[in-house]
Chain A
Amino acid sequence: MYICQICKKSPATIHLTDIHNNVKKEVHICEACAKEKGFNIQTAANLPQLLGLAAKKGEGGKLPGTLPSALAAAVLPASKRRTEAKDTVCPVCGFTWKRFTEQTRLGCPCDYQQFGDQLRRLIASQLPPRASRNGPFHVGKTPARTDPAAAENIRTMRSLERRLRDAVTEQDYERAALLKSELDALAHEATGKVEDAG
Chain B
Amino acid sequence: MLVDDAPGKPCPAARRNIGIVISTRVRLARNLAGRKFPTHPDGSDRLEILSDIKRVVGTLPGGDAFAWRNIDEESPLECRLLVERHLISRELAEGSGPRAVALNPERSLGMMINEEDHLRLQCLMPGLALHEAYARTDRLDNQLSERLEFAFDPFYGYLTSCPTNVGTGLRVSAMLHLPALAMTRHIEKVYRAIIEMRMAVRGFYGEGTEAYGELYQISNQATCGKNEADIIDDMDAAIAAIVRYEERARARLAASERRQLEDRIWRSWGALRHARLMNTEEAMRHLSSLRMGLAMGLFTDIRPSELDRLFLYSQPAHLQRLEGRELEPGDRDAARAALFRKSLGGEMN
Chain A interface residues toward B at CB < 8 A: 13-14, 31, 41-47, 92-93, 95, 103-110, 112-113, 119, 122-123, 126-132, 135-146, 150-155, 158-159, 197-198
Closest chain A CB from B159 CB (angstroms)? 4
Choice from A13, A92, A105, A135 contacting B161 with Cβ under 8 Å: A105
Contact B198 A128 (CB under 8 A): yes
Does B222 contact A138, Cβ atoms closer than 8 Å? no
How far, in whole Å, are A112 and B151 apart by their CA atoms in the complex?
11
Q: Are A140 and B39 in contact (CB under 8 A)?
A: no
A105 and B195: CB pair below 8 A? Answer: no
Say yes or no: B163 contacts A140, CB within 8 Å.
no
In this complex, the member of B35, B151, B207 whose beta carbon has the largest number of chain A beta carbons within 10 angstroms is: B151
Question: Contacts A126-B222, A140-B157: A146 and B162 contacting too (C-beta < 8 A)?
Answer: no
Any A CB within 8 A of the CB of B227: yes
Contacts A45-B222, A105-B37; A112 near B168 (Cβ below 8 A): no
Given contacts A137-B157, A197-B154, contact A126 B192 (CB under 8 A): no
The answer on a CB contact under 8 Å between A45 and B157 is no
- Residue of A46, A132, A198 near B153 (CB, 8 A) is A198
Q: Contact: B145 with A144, CB < 8 Å?
A: yes
Q: Which of B40, B163, B201, B224 contacts A93 (CB 8 A)?
A: B40
Contact A144 B116 (CB under 8 A): no
9 closest A-B pairs by beta carbon, nearest first, are: A138-B157, A131-B225, A109-B151, A151-B154, A105-B39, A127-B225, A140-B168, A154-B154, A143-B145
Alpha-carbon separation in the docked complex, A14 to B207 (Å): 20
A interface footprint on B28-69 (CB within 8 Å = 1, 0 otherwise):
000101111101100000000000000000000000000000
A132 to B226, CA, bound (A): 10
> Please, which residues of chain B bring their CB within 8 A of the CB of A122?
163
Docked CA distance A198–B150 (Å): 11
A-B contact count (CB 8 A): 160
**How many Å lie between the Cα of A108 and that of B34 in the bound state?**
7
Select which of A104, A123, A143 is within 8 A of B224 by beta carbon. Answer: A123
Chain A residues, Cβ within 8 Å of B116: 105
CB atoms of B222 and A142 under 8 A apart: no
Chain A contacts of B142 at CB under 8 A? 144
Chain A nearest CB, measured from B346 CB (Å) = 38
- Rounded to whole Å, the gap between the CB of A6 and the closest CB of chain B is 17
Closest to A137 in B: B224
Measured in the bound complex, the distance between the Cα atoms of B224 and A25 in whole Å is 21
Report the bound CA distance from A140 to B231 in whole Å.
Answer: 10
Per the bound structure, the CA–CA distance linking A26 and B206 in Å amounts to 31
Q: Mark interface residues in B151-177 (1 if CB within 8 Å of A CB, else 0).
A: 111111111111110111010000000
Q: In whole Å, how far is A39's beta carbon from the nearest beta carbon of chain B? A: 11
Residue contacts A-B, CB under 8 angstroms, 6 given: A105-B162, A123-B163, A136-B155, A140-B167, A145-B145, A151-B154
| Residues on the A chain within 8 Å of B152, using CB | 142-143, 146, 197
A36 to B: closest C-beta gap in Å: 16
Q: B118 — nearest CB in chain A belongs to which residue?
A: A109
- Which B87-127 residues have a C-beta within 8 angstroms of A? 116
- Given A112-B153, A138-B168, 20 more A-B residue pairs with CB atoms under 8 Å apart are A42-B200, A47-B164, A106-B37, A107-B37, A107-B39, A109-B33, A109-B35, A109-B159, A128-B198, A137-B157, A138-B157, A139-B225, A140-B224, A140-B228, A142-B152, A143-B145, A144-B142, A144-B145, A146-B154, A150-B154
Taking a contact as CB atoms under 8 Å apart, the answer to whether B196 and A126 are in contact is no
- Which chain B residue has the least Cβ–Cβ distance from A41? B195
Closest to B30 in A: A143
B166–A123 CB distance below 8 A: yes
Cβ of B280 < 8 Å from any Cβ of A?
no
Q: Is the CB of B225 within 8 A of A145?
A: no
**Cβ A13 vs Cβ B196 within 8 A:** yes
Q: Is B328 an interface residue (CB 8 A)?
A: no
A145 contact set on B, CB distance < 8 A: 145-146, 149-150
Complex interface: chain A residues within 8 A of B17 (CB) = none
Check B163 against A158 for contact (C-beta < 8 Å).
no
Interchain nearest-CB distance for B94 vs A (Å):
15
User: How near does chain A come to B82, taking the closest CB pair, in angstroms?
Assistant: 23
Please determine whether B154 and A108 come into contact, CB atoms closer than 8 angstroms. Answer: no
B163 touches A119 (CB 8 A): yes
